[in-house]
Amino acid sequence: MALIKSVRGIHPQFGRDCYLAENATVVGEVVMGDECSIWFHAVVRGDVHSITIGNKVNIQDGAVIHCTYQKAKTVIGNNVSIGHNAIVHGCTLHDRVVIGMGAIVMDHAVVEEGAVIAAGAVVLENTRVEKGCIYAGVPARKIKVVSPEVYQHLNERIANNYILYSSWFKEENK
């Protein structure tokens, strides 16, 4: 069973039909929507500020979601995919965002709807990532604009795949 821990009397809240891997950790002021999944060794740590997560969000293996004490909460929209070993820290991710494997998104950054942060990219503090664009590099820079159809297809495919994958684990544990 996942490690779910209260901090300062605040307990994480989970929506309907969520999957938490056995060694995932969720701590403190975390509010999660429906059909979300938190995978192996991922940490969602709302001990120093709030973390709000929408519906159909997948937080993949080894990812860390955190915030900055009294300065930067984390807000994650609907249909967001956060890749393996990514760090999402004190920022806002709008709906239908994809954060690539090993990417880092820092405090007060805003990633607008449909944006893709490439694997290994570093989105610096206070950066605004434009809607429907791909950002890559260190520091992350806009490299391409994608059509709404392309980012919607990419996002829905990943989000729906993770709902499917989590169903395999839920069935095994009935």
Say which amino acid occupies 56: K
The rounded average pLDDT for each run of 10 residues, N- to C-terminus, in the chain (174 residues) is: 96 98 98 98 98 98 97 97 98 97 98 97 98 97 93 89 94 66
Mention every residue, 6+ apart, whose C-beta is less than 8 A from residue 123: 91, 103, 104, 105, 106, 109, 111, 117, 129, 135, 139, 140
For 136-164, give the DSSP string. Answer: ETTTTEEEEE--HHHHHHHHHHHHHHHHH
For domain 3-172, give the CATH number. 2.160.10.10
Give the pLDDT score at 152: 85
Domain ranges of the chain: 3-172
